[in-house]
Protein backbone atom coordinates (compact mmCIF):
# COMPACT_ATOMS: atom_id res chain seq x y z
CA UNK A 1 0.00 0.00 0.00
CA UNK A 2 1.34 3.40 -0.93
CA UNK A 3 1.57 6.07 1.77
CA UNK A 4 0.82 9.80 1.59
CA UNK A 5 4.50 10.47 2.30
CA UNK A 6 5.52 8.40 -0.74
CA UNK A 7 3.10 10.29 -3.01
CA UNK A 8 4.53 13.60 -1.80
CA UNK A 9 8.06 12.27 -2.30
CA UNK A 10 7.20 11.35 -5.90
CA UNK A 11 6.09 14.93 -6.51
CA UNK A 12 2.47 13.96 -7.11
CA UNK A 13 1.13 16.12 -4.26
CA UNK A 14 2.55 19.18 -2.51
CA UNK A 15 2.00 17.76 1.00
CA UNK A 16 0.42 14.89 2.92
CA UNK A 17 -2.67 16.94 3.79
CA UNK A 18 -3.41 17.31 0.05
CA UNK A 19 -3.19 13.54 -0.37
CA UNK A 20 -5.63 12.97 2.48
CA UNK A 21 -8.07 15.62 1.24
CA UNK A 22 -8.10 14.12 -2.25
CA UNK A 23 -8.54 10.60 -0.87
CA UNK A 24 -11.52 11.68 1.24
CA UNK A 25 -13.08 13.58 -1.68
CA UNK A 26 -12.87 10.48 -3.87
CA UNK A 27 -14.17 8.29 -1.05
CA UNK A 28 -17.26 10.52 -0.67
CA UNK A 29 -17.87 10.33 -4.43
CA UNK A 30 -17.40 6.58 -4.73
CA UNK A 31 -19.29 5.59 -1.58
CA UNK A 32 -22.33 7.89 -1.21
CA UNK A 33 -23.70 5.72 1.60
CA UNK A 34 -20.81 6.93 3.76
CA UNK A 35 -21.95 10.51 3.19
CA UNK A 36 -25.45 9.57 4.32
CA UNK A 37 -24.13 7.73 7.39
CA UNK A 38 -21.90 10.66 8.33
CA UNK A 39 -24.69 13.19 7.83
CA UNK A 40 -27.10 11.16 9.98
CA UNK A 41 -24.46 10.86 12.70
CA UNK A 42 -23.71 14.58 12.62
CA UNK A 43 -27.41 15.40 12.72
CA UNK A 44 -28.11 12.98 15.57
CA UNK A 45 -25.36 14.49 17.69
CA UNK A 46 -27.02 17.89 17.05
CA UNK A 47 -23.96 19.43 15.49
CA UNK A 48 -25.68 20.21 12.16
CA UNK A 49 -29.16 21.17 10.96
CA UNK A 50 -31.44 19.05 8.81
CA UNK A 51 -30.68 21.19 5.76
CA UNK A 52 -26.94 20.85 6.35
CA UNK A 53 -27.32 17.10 6.84
CA UNK A 54 -29.18 16.86 3.53
CA UNK A 55 -26.50 18.89 1.76
CA UNK A 56 -23.73 16.76 3.26
CA UNK A 57 -25.53 13.54 2.31
CA UNK A 58 -26.19 14.81 -1.21
CA UNK A 59 -29.94 14.25 -0.92
CA UNK A 60 -33.00 16.48 -0.79
CA UNK A 61 -34.33 17.93 2.45
CA UNK A 62 -37.38 15.63 2.29
CA UNK A 63 -35.27 12.56 1.52
CA UNK A 64 -33.02 13.31 4.49
CA UNK A 65 -36.08 13.51 6.74
CA UNK A 66 -37.16 10.07 5.45
CA UNK A 67 -33.71 8.62 6.08
CA UNK A 68 -33.68 9.93 9.63
CA UNK A 69 -37.18 8.66 10.41
CA UNK A 70 -36.31 5.19 9.06
CA UNK A 71 -33.36 5.17 11.47
CA UNK A 72 -35.57 6.15 14.39
CA UNK A 73 -34.13 9.66 14.56
CA UNK A 74 -36.80 12.30 15.15
CA UNK A 75 -36.20 15.30 12.87
CA UNK A 76 -35.82 18.61 14.68
CA UNK A 77 -37.82 21.09 12.66
CA UNK A 78 -37.49 24.81 13.08
CA UNK A 79 -34.69 26.94 14.45
CA UNK A 80 -34.00 28.39 17.86
CA UNK A 81 -32.27 31.63 16.91
CA UNK A 82 -32.18 34.18 14.10
CA UNK A 83 -28.58 33.19 13.39
CA UNK A 84 -29.62 29.56 12.91
CA UNK A 85 -32.38 30.72 10.56
CA UNK A 86 -29.85 32.67 8.47
CA UNK A 87 -27.48 29.69 8.36
CA UNK A 88 -30.34 27.40 7.38
CA UNK A 89 -31.39 29.78 4.61
CA UNK A 90 -27.82 30.00 3.25
CA UNK A 91 -27.55 26.21 3.23
CA UNK A 92 -30.86 25.84 1.39
CA UNK A 93 -29.83 28.46 -1.18
CA UNK A 94 -26.56 26.59 -1.77
CA UNK A 95 -28.45 23.31 -2.19
CA UNK A 96 -30.73 24.94 -4.78
CA UNK A 97 -27.73 26.38 -6.66
CA UNK A 98 -26.00 22.99 -6.63
CA UNK A 99 -29.16 21.27 -7.86
CA UNK A 100 -29.56 23.84 -10.65
CA UNK A 101 -25.91 23.40 -11.70
CA UNK A 102 -26.33 19.61 -11.78
CA UNK A 103 -29.09 19.87 -14.39
Nearest-angstrom CA–CA distance, 91 and 48: 11
Please give the pLDDT value at position 63. 95
- Distances in whole angstroms, Cα of residue 28 to Cα of each of 34, 42, 49, 83, 101: 7, 15, 20, 29, 19
79 band by pLDDT with thresholds 50, 70 and 90: low
CB 53 within 8 A of CB 41: no
pTM of the model: 0.65
Gap between the terminal Cα atoms of the chain:
38
Q: What is the pLDDT of residues 46-56, one digit of tens each?
A: 788 898 999 99
8 pLDDT band (50/70/90 cuts)? very high
Amino acid sequence: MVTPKELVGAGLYPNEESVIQEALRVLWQERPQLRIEWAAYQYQTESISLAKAAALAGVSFDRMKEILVKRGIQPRLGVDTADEARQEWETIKQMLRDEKDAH
